[in-house]
Amino acid sequence: MRLQVVLFVTFIVLLGSACSSNSTPAPLSIQPTDSPERIAEIAASPSLQIGEQVYMRQCAHCHGYGGEGQPPSSTRNTLSLGMNTVPPHNATGHTWQHPDQLLLEVVNAGIQNPLDHFPMPSFEGKLPDEEITAVIEYIKLWWTDDQRDSQQLLTERRAETEARLD
């Protein structure tokens, strides 16, 4: 009788885990800070939707769900260790000061800085190129129009320089 109970419980546990691994992931919740325009822009673009999914699953726990940087709950701890916090990607950060080519390189290669408490991992081989491009486009939605224009200019200049050097 005892054995039967154990087997039955094991069966239920296995059944439960099989069901949960087959279930489709819940849809992503829209950020409370998102403006109606931003929500509409994301909804209209399959690539931005991919960018949002990649960001929320792979980047948000470090860079903040609204691109605001390392969550305040862990920032004090990081600073008390004398280490660097994770930078923001929104308009207060400096991600917009780098051309696309450099942002792609950073996401592919990661950044090995021993002073970073939560170092930037390498996503090469973990995310396909289209997803890396899509997540960078998604990050750009947090910038101001001026920041976007200026970053686009940097990207174009860099492409011209690279073409000249080829």
Q: Does 48 bind ligand HEC (CB under 6 A)?
A: no
Q: Does 66 bind ligand HEC (CB under 6 A)?
A: no
Output 45 or 74, the one with its CB closest to ligand HEC.
74
Output b/e per residue, 41-55; b: 16+ Cβ within 10 A.
Answer: ebeeeeebebbbbbb
Q: How many residues of this chain bind ligand HEC (CB under 6 A)?
A: 23
Q: Does 116 bind ligand HEC (CB under 6 A)?
A: yes
Which residues in 21-40 contact ligand HEC (CB under 6 A)? none
Q: Does 134 bind ligand HEC (CB under 6 A)?
A: no
- Chain-centre distance of CA 153, in angstroms? 24
Closest-CA residue to 116 (of 62, 67, 68): 62
Q: Specify the 3-state DSSP secondary structure of 28.
A: coil
User: Where does this chain touch ligand HEC (CB under 6 A) — which range of 13-21, 110-118, 149-157, 158-166?
Assistant: 110-118
State the nearest-atom distance from the C-beta of 10 to ligand HEC, in Å: 36
Closest-CA residue to 100 (of 150, 59, 54, 145): 150
Q: What phi, psi does 44 have (nearest 5°)?
A: -85, -10
Residues contributing to the site for ligand HEC (CB under 6 A): 54, 58-59, 62-63, 86-87, 93-95, 98, 103, 106-107, 111, 113, 116, 118-121, 123, 135
